[in-house]
Amino acid sequence: MTASVNLIRHWRSALRTQIASTLADAQASVAAFAEVTAARGSLIQSWVAGQEVLEYAHYPSDDVVDVRHGSQFYYHAHRDGDQEHGHLHLFWHATASGRRRYFQPGKPRWNRTEPTHLFAISLDARGLPVALFTVNQWVTDGHWLDANTTLACVDRFVMDNVEGHEASCRWLTGFVRLYRPLIQELLIRRDQRMARRSDLAQALHDHRLEVLSQQPIDWMADMDALQAEAARRGL
């Protein structure tokens, strides 16, 4: 694979300060990936911790939750494929209008109406990210927000050193910042596909519609392309 043409196009038109910020986030993500891989063997093992990977089970079992920022993710595996071992589902705790929803004392962390799904990241058996995708509402429940509102939630997605998952949190936070342009495209494509359905409410619960948009990625090639653009700008 090669670097994403759409990412390269975005970076060439971005401000110098935006390139610098994205590069810093991406480099922090790569450093965290190296750290967790050296310590645990792979990103996947940092969540699975040597357990047998059971279909649809969450790893870790109670998810990784940043209570302060309202961000949440878990890893699981249930799809056959040559590349994907499993995937991460990313959530942000939002109201129906996309505003921050706070945890209430004594209330369970995982409530079907609270964590709103943002997008997902496919990982191969080595723990390397290989694709991004979006899913229908019935897959994860939560509120259904349009592309612009969901992207605003993505922009507020931060995993801030949750105990026991510090390195993978740093990897994920930087990774999301790196791929924001592609995430935006995926969300727009998701909405365009659903807009072709005559009844959105019915389509959101149609089990024939699961993955709504998907994009293979080459993380290292995209990193190289970003660094080349930064060098061209003298950063």
pLDDT in tens, 178-189: 999 999 999 999
Closest CA to 193 of 179, 176, 210: 210
Length in residues, the chain:
235
What value does the mean pLDDT of the chain take?
92
User: 153 with 92: CB under 8 angstroms?
Assistant: yes
Helical axes 147-155 vs 180-195, angle rounded to 10° = 160
pLDDT digits (tens, 9 = 90+) for 107-162: 666 555 578 999 999 999 899 999 999 999 999 988 999 999 999 999 999 999 89
pLDDT digits (tens, 9 = 90+) for 56-103: 899 999 899 998 899 999 999 886 666 889 999 999 999 888 988 877
Closest CA to 153 of 192, 119, 113, 188: 119
